[in-house]
Amino acid sequence: MSAPPRCVVLGVGNPDRGDDAAGPIVARALRGRLPDGVAVIEGSGEATALIAHMDGAAAVFLIDACVSGAPPGTVHRVDASAAPVPERLRGLTTHGFGVAAAVELARAVGQLPPRCVIYAIEGAAFETGAALSPAVAAAAAEAARALCAEIGQTE
Amino acid sequence: MAAKTKTIKTDYLARIEGEAAFKVVVRDGAVRSAEFKVFEPPRFFEALLRGRAFGEAPDITSRICGICPIAYQMSAVHAIEAALGVTVGGPLRELRRLIYCGEWIESHTLHVYLLHAPDFLGFDSAIHMARAHGETVKRGLALKKVGNDIVNLLGGREIHPINVRVGGFYRVPRRREFAPLAEALKRVRDIALDTVRWTSKLDFPDLERDYEYVSLRHPDEYPFNEGRIVSTGGIDIAASEYAQHFEEVHVKRSTALQSRIVGRGAYLTGPLARYSLNFDRLPPAARQAAKEAGLGPVCTNPYRSIVVRAVETLYAVDEALRIIADYQEPDRPAVALEPRAGIGCAATEAPRGMLWHRYRLEADGSIAEARIVPPTSQNQPSIEGDLRACVESSLDLDDEALRLRCEQTIRNHDPCISCSTHFLRLEIDRGQGA
């Protein structure tokens, strides 16, 4: 309907499932701290909605919680622009048909933005109604700082 | 000596929305037992609702499911309005049908193109299918996006929509706000029609099941929010009578409760049931598309549910266009409400099946008790029956092929427990020396 933004930041996760809220919390922390023309969106992580949000953008940054076996609070940064999301990180997302699927599906149909970076934050607990665990809260703040720096340079 | 048991495990660690396990014991070429188990989040939300003001229910219940938040909101607001003795009509009722159209388009299109079609076409996942059928998948994405747009416009935002309230909406759109949406719907209508044709050409396993179908039925409409609860076995009741005819049984092997018809047993809700009980309520265009796709007025092959979903998606696109064309801006976004003590029930049609809510309110409007029966627990015994039939007719397959066939069988009914490519843990015991 309107022209797509140049750069999209997508914080993905369920705000009511403990550490799964990491993505939306990073997105909220980034509001007002990024250059004009950068869209900051909180999403449920459903793959086709993610693809619709990133369609037409020059760059997309995706933030999600993950369970890969690393210590809770670990921030994984993956540049998925050219190469597929590595196999060992495929299971990263906490969503059934989520971030990694969205990126690969968008790539398969030629709709992946030229620049695509995933920040995945290792979660510890995903109980319904629980708050972020302390290590993940600290990691969310760290990821927000890193994204500010990276997107500031990109723009 | 213990019988030889072969266990196939799939990685389910990374998912939290839902996963499933199926354990089957085979002896002498026959299925001796078949147990389907769903890991559902415990009924945290029924407890969370107690003591809350009735106005909080739509926002709280929309958080139960990321795929169908509107369904939870709709069942909640209608049940609470019943408790308050309020009826919402006119343009506000139409807007509620419109937002439900959006959710059906989103959920059905996701299900048809990205979850179910890869099974039929022999692809391991939607991504693999997209590499070979890029244009087809792109059309599916374009169709689904219009569903997102409807929900975003009326719901206020994509994640946990916040604009729905008991009595109506917090804000209603102006007529002119619908113009871009109407254009987008007109653009994708051809895709919706083509989806019916495309799905009808898939190769369907032969299986006819003798389900008792249960769905809403309305005097004039294909059902979203209103109607009596009817079944192919003769049930015809108001939503307030649901608990006298349907019971939930706790099954030890599952965190979910299983529903059954009192005195009879398993039943099925969802697209197959809605379609078969309401074929005569579809407008001519949808009926014609169904006919051309080879569907009769009743469909009992669960694999053809993919065609029925496509027909319902076409209906939702046409119904959304009708509602937008006829839309008159209401005088106010919601009707006035007075708290009172009371009990209210409602059932609405979530994309994957009927969703029933019951609330008991105190005089101050706080929620004393909430009960929610989702489609997953209603359909679970029928899915188990399908799996048993599937295994019985496919015992010649090896374990991996059998697991894939079982996953496809579950996906006939439920996207939520099957939203990942390999979601099923199949444990098959073929007996010693098998």
What confidence tens digit (pLDDT) does each residue in B150-192 have? 999 999 876 667 899 999 999 999 999 999 999 999 999 999 9
Residue with the larger pLDDT of the pair A89 and B57: B57
pLDDT at site B255:
57
> What is the rounded CA–CA span in Å between residue B285 and residue A13?
39
Task: Report the alpha-carbon distance of residue A65 to residue A22 in Å, rounded.
Answer: 6
CB–CB contact A95 B66 (8 Å): yes
pLDDT at A148: 95
Element (H, E) at A76: strand A75-79
Q: In this predicted structure, which of B187-201, B217-231, B392-406 has the lowest mean pLDDT?
A: B392-406
Least confident of B224-228, B256-260, B352-356, B377-381: B256-260
Which chain A residues contact residue B109 at CB under 8 A? Answer: 48
Q: With CB atoms and an 8 Å threshold, state whether B419 touches A96.
A: yes
> How confident is the model at residue B420, as a pLDDT?
42
Rg (Cα) of chain A, in Å, rounded? 14
Residue A128 pLDDT class (50, 70, 90 cuts): confident
Q: Average pLDDT in the B339-355 region?
A: 97
pLDDT in the model for residue B40: 59
A16 confidence band (pLDDT: 50, 70, 90): confident
**Residue B45: its H or E element:** helix B44-49
Q: Is A122 on the interface with B (CB under 8 A)?
A: no
pLDDT at A96 over 80: no
Mean pLDDT of the region B339-344 = 98
- Residue B18 pLDDT more than 60? no
- DSSP-based helix, strand, coil % in chain A, nearest 5: 35, 20, 40
Going from N- to C-terminal start, the domains of chain A cover 7-154
CB under 8 Å to B284, separation ≥6 — which residues?
Answer: none
Range with the poorest average pLDDT among A32-41, A74-83, B156-165, B241-250? B156-165
Across the range B319-335, mean pLDDT stands at 97
| Residue A127 reports pLDDT greater than 60 | yes
Output A48 or B52, whichever has higher pLDDT. Answer: B52
Could you give the angle at which helices B134-155 and B90-109 cross, rounded to 10 degrees?
150
Q: What is the pLDDT of residue B8?
A: 31
For the ranges B122-126, B128-132, B196-200, B263-267, the lowest mean pLDDT is seen at B122-126
- CB < 8 Å to A25, chain B: none
The whole-angstrom separation of Cα B105 and Cα B287 is 18
> How far, rounded to the nearest angstrom, does the alpha carbon of residue B186 sit from its chain's CA centroid?
25
Query: Residue A128: helix, strand or coil by DSSP?
Result: coil
- Residue extents of the structural domains in chain B: 6-40+395-429, 44-378
Q: How far apart are CA B386 and CA A18, in angstroms?
A: 35
DSSP letters, B152-207, are HHHHSSSSS---EETTEESS---GGGGHHHHHHHHHHHHHHHHHHHHHHTS-----
Pick B309 or B401 by higher pLDDT.
B309
CA distance B37 to B135: 37
Question: CB-CB: which of B45, B48, B145 is closest to A52?
Answer: B145
Interface contact A95-B11, CB threshold 8 A: no
CB contact under 8 A, A101 and B127: yes
- Whether residue A111 and residue B419 make contact (CB cut-off 8 A), yes or no, is no
The mean pLDDT of B80-88, rounded to a whole number, is 97
Supply the ipTM of this predicted assembly: 0.83
- The dihedral sign for the CA sequence B7, B408, A106, B158: negative
Cβ contacts of A46 on chain B, cutoff 8 Å: 66-67, 110
> Residue A2: is its pLDDT beyond 70?
no
Say how far apart CA B19 and CA A91 lie, in whole Å.
Answer: 14
Q: Is the pLDDT of residue B14 over 50?
A: no
User: Which parts of B299-398 fold into alpha helices (H)?
Assistant: 305-326, 375-392
- B44-378 topology per CATH: Cytochrome-c3 Hydrogenase; chain B (1.10.645)
Q: What is the pLDDT of residues B357-383, one digit of tens each?
A: 999 999 999 999 999 988 888 998 999
B29 and B394 in contact (C-beta within 8 Å)?
Answer: no
Q: Percent of chain B, pLDDT > 70?
A: 89
**pLDDT-wise least confident of B51-55, B154-158, B192-196:** B154-158
The alpha-carbon gap from A20 to the nearest alpha carbon of chain B, in Å, equals 9
- CA pair distance B420, B121, nearest whole angstrom: 17
- Inspect the interface and report whether the beta carbons of B66 and A45 lie closer than 8 Å: yes
Nearest residue of A to residue B142 by CA position? A52
At B23, the pLDDT band (50, 70, 90 cuts) reads confident
Provide the 3-class DSSP secondary structure of residue B231. strand
Distance from the first to the final alpha carbon of chain B: 14
β-strand pairing of B424-429 with B19-27: parallel
Q: Is the pLDDT of residue A145 over 90?
A: yes
- List the CATH code of the domain at A7-154: 3.40.50.1450
Give the chain A residue nearest B125 (alpha carbons): A101
Which residue has better confidence, A113 or B259? A113
Q: How many CA atoms lie within 13 A of A104 on its CB side?
A: 19
- Mutate one of B13, B17, B410 to test the A interface: name it (highest A CB count within 10 A): B17
- Write out pLDDT tens, residues B249-293: 877 665 567 889 999 999 999 999 999 999 999 999 999 999 999
Residue to mutate among A64, A90, A109, A111, with most B CBs inside 10 A, is: A109
Determine the Cα angle at B145 with ends B15 and A50, to 5°. Answer: 40
Determine which of B46, B65, B127, B133 to mutate to test the interface with A (most A C-beta atoms within 10 Å). B127
Report the distance separating Cα A145 and Cα A137, nearest Å: 13
Which chain A residues are closer than 8 Å to B420 by Cβ?
96-97
* d(C-alpha B96, C-alpha B92), whole Å: 6
Q: Which residues of B touch A126 (CB under 8 A)?
A: 16
**How far is the alpha carbon of A135 from chain B, nearest alpha carbon, in Å?**
19
Interface contact A96-B145, CB threshold 8 A: no
Q: Is the pLDDT of residue B310 over 90?
A: yes
Q: How close does chain A come to B16, measured CA to CA in Å?
A: 6
A46 with B110: Cβ contact below 8 A: yes
Task: State the pLDDT at residue A69.
Answer: 82
pLDDT for A97:
66
Do A49 and B148 make contact, defined as CB atoms within 8 angstroms? yes
| CA separation for the pair B164, B171 (Å, rounded) | 9
- In degrees, rounded to 5, the angle at the alpha carbon of residue B297 between the alpha carbons of residues B292 and B302 is 90
Task: Give the tokens for residue B340.
Answer: 């009172």
Q: Do A96 and B17 touch (CB under 8 A)?
A: yes
Chain A residue closest to B178 (CA)?
A: A1
Average pLDDT on A98-117 reads 92
pLDDT digits (tens, 9 = 90+) for B86-120: 999 999 999 999 999 999 999 999 999 988 999 89
- Asked if residues B304 and B245 have their Cβ atoms less than 8 Å apart, the reply is no
Rounded average pLDDT over B328-348: 97
pLDDT of residue B16: 33
Give the pLDDT confidence of A52-70 residue by residue, as tens digits. 999 899 999 999 988 878 8
Cα(B169)–Cα(B151) distance, integer angstroms: 13
- Collapse the DSSP code of B396 into the 3-class scheme (helix H, G, I; strand E, B; otherwise coil) and give the result: coil
Q: Give the Cα separation of B19 and B425 in Å (integer).
A: 9
- pLDDT exceeds cutoff 50 at B421: no
- Looking from the CA of A151 toward its CB, the CA atoms found within 13 Å total 32
Under DSSP, the state recorded for B66 is S
Q: What's the pLDDT score for residue A62?
A: 95
Nearest chain B residue (CA) to A20: B16
